[in-house]
Structure 1
Amino acid sequence: MKIDKRSLLAVAALAALAQFSMPAGAAGMIGNCELVSEKGSIPIEKPAKSGQLTVEVSLPAPIWWNGDTPESIKDGMEYCLAAEIAWRAGYDKMEVINVGWDALVTGQTNDFDLALSEISITDERKKVVDFSIPYFSSDIGVLAKADAPVDEKTIKERTVGVQVATTGATFVSDVLKIPKEQTQAYPDQGDMFTALAAGQIDAAVTDTSIVLAEEVKSSGKHVVVGQYKTGESYGALYPKGGTNNATIDKIIKSIIDDGTMSKLAAKYLASVWGKDPATVPYFNP
């Protein structure tokens, strides 16, 4: 199953205009997330840690996880998605663990139920981890300083920043074929965006959804100048062969099917970005 980005954001935008709100009779809350589903409707009997859902993320991830530390985060698109999964699985307690990106996508972490961190589903990653059904689609975006933009031609002549072990890094090297001497690799996206602000790189290349969030955070100093069509989809990352993987898949499908996913996208993505990612111009590789 694949959720089309245009369809998802169109629904999300309509919901945003309707001033998204949950019903007053919400069943419960985790953080600031109001949960209206039935608790334990699709139960998980043996979570990684007793009595809770354990969720990994690689921070920072603004808008998706609103805060810099697990303790400070109370909402965000993926945080509230995780909260909804926990509730439907039968738990009102959720532990968030911050892990390194490279360790996460190469299957080096353990004792968790799932990870949500804007993780693109790839065949290479499937060799060491499992993925849920897709819940969001995102292409590869290009972020530059507003006063020093790049285009599809000049980007190949500039210094480009990427995050280690991401699909963006692979795209820059294998598709755009930008030489290594023009590429700077960073362990996390926060370091990459700091380098852009400092003028150490001319452009940052990663998921369109991520650079759109950074554009908003920069208050106009950075702008998403273009994107490349890749057809990527985000999925929850599971431990390889995890006993609860199929059950969590059922929960995520129920969240998509009952409209909760679109409502979360409206509140935390479309209403904050102020635009549909599909309106960002597409570059030719």
Structure 2
Amino acid sequence: MSRTLRRVAAAAAAAVAALSLAACAGTPAASTSAAADGELQTVTAGKLTIATGEPDYEPWFVDDDPSNGKGFEGAVANAVAAELGFDADDIVWVRTGFDAAIAPGPKDWDVNIQQFSVTDERKKAVDFSSPYYTTTQAVVALNDSDAASATTLAELKDAKVGVAAGTTSYTVAEEQLGDANLSVFNTVDDVVLALQSGQIDALVTDLPGAFYLTAAVVDDSTVTGQFEGSDGGDEFAFVLPKDSALTSAVSDAVDALRADGTLDALVQEWLSDAVDVPVLQ
């Protein structure tokens, strides 16, 4: 998700983050899971403690209940846990703020999943697994505009589409739609305001940001579709405490799920079919 949109979401969870930090202390205890490949060090012996945000939005989790295994990240987390040798009953879910999760210091969880983009700056404070998803770009349209029912790129070329200058969204929109009907703004915030005021019919942003906008920011809007390909997209990965003994094992699990097609199948199930966000052709 773009930093601007994530900042809005993070502010709403600030109180939760403070409570979560208070619980962080101690050194992880060693545990051995007979089903896992080798010895895994976890916070609680025999359990895998997975953290996520509060609240959780669809399609990443469903019904704000990470334990039900539904939603894209809920399903990915369960698949990785199983790959590591943990049953669903061995998963302990906890909640954290976004900023607290990537801050330096001890953690009271083994892994954290809540659309964390991998960046060099964040790597200074925490570990990242191999990426489980690379974001695509998507179109958010007002429900009363023709763009809301567009199913092809051609149908969007007559719409007034807003993008922020210098972003991946701008690059993709220009390549796919041309620049004749693009309205270019200085920031993502400016683009969102233009959509809310009816200056534009639609905007282009990363798919996670699109879900957040339609759920919590822009009334009477919808995610029309997503562009094919993920070149230049943010990579989402599990966050682990810095120098965690689990980092290699979690990365191996993610890589295995990518290799056998599980991750692609979950992307199709939860980020396309379940939310009716087709790939625009």
Matching residue of 1:80: 75
**1:68/1:205 Cα in 2 relative to 1: closer, same or farther (>3 Å)?**
farther
Task: Could you tell me which runs of 5 or more consecutive residues in structure 2 were left unpaired when the two chains were aligned.
Answer: 1-33, 148-158, 170-183
Matching residue of 2:40: 45
**1:41/1:69 Cα in 2 relative to 1: closer, same or farther (>3 Å)?**
closer
Name the larger-Rg structure: 2
Matching residue of 1:90: 85
Task: Could you tell me which runs of 5 or more consecutive residues in structure 1 were left unpaired when the two chains were aligned.
Answer: 1-38, 157-166, 169-174, 185-194, 281-285
Letter in 1 for 2:124: K
Give 3-state SS (helix, strand or coil) of 2:86's partner: coil
Q: Return the structure number with greater helix share.
A: 2
**1:129/1:196 Cα in 2 relative to 1: closer, same or farther (>3 Å)?**
farther
Q: TM-score, normalised by structure 1?
A: 0.58
**In the TM superposition, what are the counterparts of 1:155-194 in structure 2 within 5 Å?**
177-178=186-187
Is this contact kept in 2: 1:62–1:214, CA < 8 A?
no
- Does the alignment pair 1:223 with 2:218? no
The total of aligned residue pairs comes to 212
Letter in 2 for 1:60: D
Distance in 2, Cα, partners of 1:262 & 1:98:
27
Give 3-state SS (helix, strand or coil) of 1:236's partner: strand
Is this contact kept in 1: 2:36–2:86, CA < 8 A?
no
- Give the CA RMSD over aligned residues: 4.2
- Does the alignment pair 1:57 with 2:52? yes
| Higher relative contact order (CA closer than 8 Å, sequence separation 6+) | 1
Is this contact kept in 2: 1:52–1:86, CA < 8 A?
no
Is this contact kept in 2: 1:212–1:273, CA < 8 A?
no
Q: TM-score, normalised by structure 2?
A: 0.59
Distance in 2, Cα, partners of 1:198 & 1:97:
35
Give 3-state SS (helix, strand or coil) of 1:134's partner: strand
Percent identity over the alignment? Answer: 23
Give 3-state SS (helix, strand or coil) of 2:257's partner: helix
- Does the alignment pair 1:207 with 2:206? yes
Distance in 2, Cα, partners of 1:179 & 1:266:
27
Structure 1 residues 171-217: Cα deviation after superposition (integer angstroms, max 9, x where no partner)? xxxx953398x599xxxxxxxxxx99998xx9998631452477599
Distance in 2, Cα, partners of 1:106 & 1:152:
36
**In the TM superposition, what are the counterparts of 1:124-273 in structure 2 within 5 Å?**
124-139=121-136, 141=138, 143-147=140-144, 151-153=160-162, 177-178=186-187, 207-212=206-211, 215=214, 221-224=220-223, 230-273=232-275
Matching residue of 1:3: none
Structure 1 residues 132-184: Cα deviation after superposition (integer angstroms, max 9, x where no partner)? 1122111455645323789455x67xxxxxxxxxx99xxxxxx953398x599
Is this contact kept in 1: 2:185–2:191, CA < 8 A?
no
Give the superposition deviation at 1:97: 1.5
Structure 1 residues 21-74: Cα deviation after superposition (integer angstroms, max 9, x where no partner)? xxxxxxxxxxxxxxxxxx835345211222211111123221221122456x44
Name whichever of 78-87 and 242-251 sits farther off: 78-87
